[in-house]
Structure 1
Amino acid sequence: MHGLSHVALIFVSSRAISYAAATIVDGIPSVQLDEGTFIGNLSGNVSQFLGIPFAQPPVGNLRFQLPQPNAPYTGIHNATDYGPSCIQQNTTQPIPSGLDPLALQFLELEASDLQANDQSEDCLSINVMAPADASSNSKLPVVAWIYGGGFETGGTASETFGGSGIVQRSIELGQPVLFVSFNYRLNALGFLAGAEVEKNGLGNIGLHDQRQALRWMHKYVNAFGGDPDKVTIWGASAGAASVGLHMITNGGNTEGLFRAAFMQSGSPGSAGTLAEGQPYYDALVADVGCSDAQDTLQCLREAPLQNLTVAINNSPNTDSYQSLNIAWAPRVDGIFLKDSPQQLVLKGSVANIPFVTGDCDDEGTAFSLASVNITTDQAVLDYFHGNYFPKTSTRDIERLLQLYPNDTRLGSPFDTGTANAVAPQYKRIAAIQGDMMFQAPRRFFLQQRSSQQDTYSFLSKRFKYVPDFGATHGTDVANIYGPGDLTDYLVRFVATLNPNGDTGIFWPLYTVEAPRLLTLWDGAVPLNITNDTYRTEGTKFLTQLSLTDPDTF
């Protein structure tokens, strides 16, 4: 660990290791956790502590096991570098012929943002960024970021998603907050399914990783200047879906781990069972060479990581033909998820806390590149019937296609007329996939909960100028990490549970009677309030299908 001996000498000589809270000596911050001292770095007026392990390394016999709490810390530790990302699943974005050059450039930039640093199974680390003058008496609100990536990829080691800019902006607003991010296991390593997994109570390991990180925060965040009773969980894409799942697990009991939630492009949707993931388990076992093992799960634990990684990369991903029918995703396991998420919402298994949930206008476009070879009405029907709604009648799929006709003027990117028709059915498929996985679940969640707790919603219509994609999935994240105008709303929401302050325009509560959206635009008028009334018949029908045929997340 480079530079540790030099830094350690500084701290030993200054007796910083005796302090129980974050301090700065000679321009270098440190914090004591248990009997251990963690040495961070200073970025402007933000102290950064990176790569702190929050659980035991999930390696060896702890592979495919629930996270185990870390032992009490001792000694001196360098916390100046991010820890390695969890093992990623390789994805290859399909590039249809005829994509606009600007669209290609957009894809390249998106891919570079998602590229992980060094990867390792030993990846369960957490990062804390705090105002440099914070102390254990500060009791500052905390925002905990959960990254996206389709439960297949993602990590915290990224300048794009670093968090220092958010802390800096909170200081400028006079409402300082702490930023925390953490890794969680992905793909098969975090979301293995099948009868063997169910029998051993090991479903949704990645969600348990997240929960363990939240428990770590509750125990230790005070040392950095945070208030463990003022935590907001926040995420985008799979991270936002994870936030929603933390709201509905455990009968809605937060265990005091968080008091608010902020979701970008992800809400509680539908989910299949662990048993329905059996084909993916069987294929993984065969690829690794464990088919003849008496205990296939133990064989997977003992397999060389390289063999396991190759097998994971052979499984479908969000860039595959089946797209958002994700192989390795949260599933009903009887423990973390006792039922499909939307059924839990209907049963009232929801944390009664303020929340924000919003989407981009064209959520489905980037996910529809792998299906451009679908060119006829019958092929579209077969795709949605076989891939997303296998238990649904043909008549209902026909009804869905009537609600989303093959009219390029009505497809996604929305409001772009006949432009952006990458393929004959592209805009239609993009419209259905975006509404099915994002808009409909968001609207359902708000309609079920807005009468019982404070709820806010937004719609991002920015980046409409990007050809072929428009305001596609993930483009709203730039409005916070930029930082942008959503940054102020996030900071104020974390600090006060109300996103409004003296910047931007007034963001009203969302209610069934007045379903109002903070709407983000390109151009001279960047923000206004619109009504959440678009494609209501289509999204209502999609919700009906997901409630009766919840095979996909």
Structure 2
Amino acid sequence: MHSQNTSRELDSLPSFLAMYLGLWTVALQAAVVFASPLTDPTVQLDSATVTGTLSKGVSSFLGIPFAKPPTGDRRFRLPEPIDPYSTSFSATSMGPACPQQPAKLPILTGLPAEVANAVEGSIFQVLFPDDEDCLTINIIKPADATPTSELPVVAWIFGGGFEVGSTQMYDGKGIVERSISLGQPVIYVSMNYRVTAFGFLASKEVKEAGVGNLGLQDQREALRWIQKYIGAFGGDPTKVTIWGESSGAISVSLQMLADGGDTKGLFRAAFMQSGSPIPVGDITNGQKYYDALVQETGCAGSSDTLSCLRTVPFATLKAAINESPGIFAYQSLNLAWLPRTDGVFLSDTPQKLVQQGKVAKIPIVSGDCDDEGTLFSLSTLNVTTESQIRTYVKTEFLPTISDADLDTLLKAYPEDPLQGSPYDTGIFNILSFQFKRVASVLGDAVFQAPRRFLLSNLSGKQKIWSFLSKRGKSLPFLGAFHATDLLNVYGGGELADYLIRFATNLDPNGSGSTSWPEYTTASPTLLTFVDSIFFPVQITHDTYRKDAMDALTKITLENPV
């Protein structure tokens, strides 16, 4: 069955790309559309009757508020639990996204059309109707699940660079349908959370007020809601797996670090696609972005700038936020808005917490795409010489790096295109003289090296499985770029089966799939998805670029952004 799926994906590159972009096209249909049922499903929440929709044996309850609206004086404050539901309502469409920041694309002239289309159709160019009143949750379940079913739950946290993203991007109905066909039914939950400055404002003022990392706090509140209400839908609150991709996976990893690694009973397992504890520093590192907002919104003269920002008209504040660097800005993955150490949600820098062992001791799956950095290197094509890349790293990516460490970094990641990303493509894909080199540094610094660092620190303490997605390698310049593995889970690929079994049994293995060995430092095995009709899933080892990643990890530990 899996070989047939892979064969369809690999008929041609345009076919692969069409399927990938089609995933977003389907998601952009305002809300998930279902066939009109004869009898609408209902569920009882407190004293309210909530009405959903039914299609093909799956019931959906969409856009349910899980926290009080973070508007007015609640802006830039911790989420507040929703009051008990007392009025019946329909839950038939997803709620609006939290306020988004448009991604300003780099100039793409000269690139092949399929590459430009891939970038323009990527997650970072998808914007949705947004609103400050956005904290809603969606539940998709087998239609026959009852409050006594006690089914496992997968709680999806979307990605988008902490700047964009919405639950509307993903139709979890396919996951539930697949789980039913496997005989291991699960309930799919997805949540909105605040992004951009609304969710990740950072400064000394924010730190003093204890209101940092609000997007992570929103996710935490949604997980508390699941504990309280998922039983009404047929879910088991003791069997929750948190799952995310990109910044969603980073969020999952940081949920594992909260409260010193105490899950508070909110989840029992974690599944991460392209995201691990990242090398970020103190929340005051975002001061310059906070100060810019204060200046641009007219709050500079206020004695309490944070309180002033709560009173700024939404349109004015959002316009100011949109002027901050986006994910495709020149500084790329050194993001303006992202989680940072706040002393409340994160008691120390994420990677130091990993070293201290303050990580939830739960089964995990963590994997990456092979060419994580290519998509984010398109904004640096003017970096073409050794001198320019030195300047770029020191001024844009790792501002506190020493000259000695910079020498070490550039020696570990040489200009040699044979060693650059897209990997294993030889002398091809040299978009600029430093493109493949920059792509290798960015991909390893933010994705690959943090994953390996996390797994090496957790090895022997808990069950671990890891994967590598190499599908789509033939796409010019981008290769197996960031987010292409989403097709393998939301597009009906093998990874969906592994996810479902992992959520059900705390082990991704099962009949009909390639056996997936556990990951340890002694045997760092990877389940690797490749472009092959006959052998689409292979076992490889997580030893590539070892010396380079070791050097890079040491540098980023000492120079968190």
1:503 is matched with which residue? 512
1:273 is matched with which residue? 282
Q: What SS does the corresponding residue of 1:180 show, helix, strand or coil?
A: strand
Q: What SS does the corresponding residue of 1:74 show, helix, strand or coil?
A: coil
Distance in 1 separating the partners of 2:419 and 2:280: 28
* Aligned: 1:105 with 2:117: yes
Q: Check the 8 A contact 1:100/1:468 in 2, yes or no.
A: no
Q: Cα distance, 1:419 vs. partner?
A: 0.9
Question: Quick one: which of 152, 157, 181 aligns to 1:172?
Answer: 181
CA offset digits 1:229-276 (Å, max 9, x no partner)? 000000000000000000011011000000000000000121121111
Give the letter aligned to residue 428 of structure 1.
R
Distance in 1 separating the partners of 2:275 and 2:335: 14
Distance in 2 separating the partners of 1:58 and 1:294: 23
Q: Cα distance, 1:96 vs. partner?
A: 3.4
CA offset digits 1:42-65 (Å, max 9, x no partner)? 121110000000000010100011
> Pairwise mapping of residues 33-44 of structure 1 onto structure 2 (< 5 A)?
33-44=45-56
Distance in 1 separating the partners of 2:104 and 2:560: 27
Tell me how many residue pairs correspond in the alignment: 525
Q: Cα distance, 1:358 vs. partner?
A: 0.2
Give the letter aligned to residue 271 of structure 1.
V
2:14 is matched with which residue? none
Q: Check the 8 A contact 2:155/2:189 in 1, yes or no.
A: yes
2:206 is matched with which residue? 197
Q: Cα distance, 1:391 vs. partner?
A: 2.4
Q: Check the 8 A contact 2:108/2:116 in 1, yes or no.
A: no
Distance in 2 separating the partners of 1:426 and 1:357: 27
Q: What SS does the corresponding residue of 1:75 show, helix, strand or coil?
A: coil
Which deviates the most, 265-274 or 201-210? 265-274
Give the letter aligned to residue 140 of structure 1.
L
Q: Check the 8 A contact 2:37/2:55 in 1, yes or no.
A: no
* Aligned: 1:210 with 2:222: no
Give the letter aligned to residue 361 of structure 2.
N
Distance in 2 separating the partners of 1:199 and 1:405: 43
Distance in 2 separating the partners of 1:110 and 1:389: 26
> Pairwise mapping of residues 479-498 of structure 1 onto structure 2 (< 5 A)?
479-498=488-507
* Aligned: 1:61 with 2:81: no
2:547 is matched with which residue? 537
Distance in 2 separating the partners of 1:350 and 1:320: 32
Distance in 1 separating the partners of 2:157 and 2:399: 31
Q: Check the 8 A contact 2:373/2:444 in 1, yes or no.
A: yes
Distance in 2 separating the partners of 1:342 and 1:115: 30
Distance in 2 separating the partners of 1:303 and 1:43: 43
Which deviates the most, 290-299 or 253-262? 290-299
2:129 is matched with which residue? 118
Q: Cα distance, 1:471 vs. partner?
A: 0.3
Q: Check the 8 A contact 2:473/2:479 in 1, yes or no.
A: yes
Q: What SS does the corresponding residue of 1:433 show, helix, strand or coil?
A: helix
1:347 is matched with which residue? 356
CA offset digits 1:506-530 (Å, max 9, x no partner)? 0000010100000001122110100
2:143 is matched with which residue? 132
Distance in 2 separating the partners of 1:187 and 1:125: 17
TM superposition score normalised by structure 1: 0.94
1:17 is matched with which residue? none
Q: Check the 8 A contact 1:98/1:422 in 2, yes or no.
A: no
2:18 is matched with which residue? none
* Aligned: 1:300 with 2:309: yes
Q: Cα distance, 1:498 vs. partner?
A: 0.3
Distance in 2 separating the partners of 1:45 and 1:85: 27
Distance in 2 separating the partners of 1:25 and 1:149: 33
Give the letter aligned to residue 545 of structure 2.
R
> Pairwise mapping of residues 36-435 of structure 1 onto structure 2 (< 5 A)?
36-110=48-122, 115-158=126-169, 161-435=170-444
Q: What SS does the corresponding residue of 1:157 show, helix, strand or coil?
A: helix
CA offset digits 1:282-312 (Å, max 9, x no partner)? 0011111111112111111101111001101
CA offset digits 1:313-345 (Å, max 9, x no partner)? 000111000000011110100010111101001
Q: Check the 8 A contact 2:60/2:141 in 1, yes or no.
A: yes
Distance in 2 separating the partners of 1:334 and 1:298: 20
Q: What SS does the corresponding residue of 2:495 show, helix, strand or coil?
A: helix
Distance in 2 separating the partners of 1:408 and 1:75: 62
Give the letter aligned to residue 505 of structure 2.
T
Q: What SS does the corresponding residue of 1:294 show, helix, strand or coil?
A: coil
Distance in 1 separating the partners of 2:128 and 2:54: 21
Q: Check the 8 A contact 1:232/1:261 in 2, yes or no.
A: yes
Q: Cα distance, 1:26 vs. partner?
A: 4.4
Stretches of structure 2 lacking an aligned partner (at least 5 in a row): 1-35
Distance in 1 separating the partners of 2:131 and 2:425: 43
Which deviates the most, 352-361 or 263-272? 263-272
Q: Check the 8 A contact 2:47/2:85 in 1, yes or no.
A: yes
Distance in 2 separating the partners of 1:250 and 1:388: 29
Q: Cα distance, 1:200 vs. partner?
A: 0.6
Q: What SS does the corresponding residue of 2:409 show, helix, strand or coil?
A: helix
Question: Quick one: which of 456, 472, 476 aligns to 2:485?
Answer: 476
CA offset digits 1:438-457 (Å, max 9, x no partner)? 00000000100021000000
Give the letter aligned to residue 541 of structure 1.
A
Q: What SS does the corresponding residue of 1:154 show, helix, strand or coil?
A: coil
Give the letter aligned to residue 521 of structure 1.
V
Q: Cα distance, 1:436 vs. partner?
A: 0.5
Q: Check the 8 A contact 2:103/2:125 in 1, yes or no.
A: no
* Two-structure CA RMSD over aligned residues (Å): 1.2
Distance in 2 separating the partners of 1:67 and 1:446: 31
Q: What SS does the corresponding residue of 1:289 show, helix, strand or coil?
A: coil
1:546 is matched with which residue? 556
Distance in 2 separating the partners of 1:147 and 1:25: 29
Distance in 2 separating the partners of 1:291 and 1:503: 62
TM superposition score normalised by structure 2: 0.92
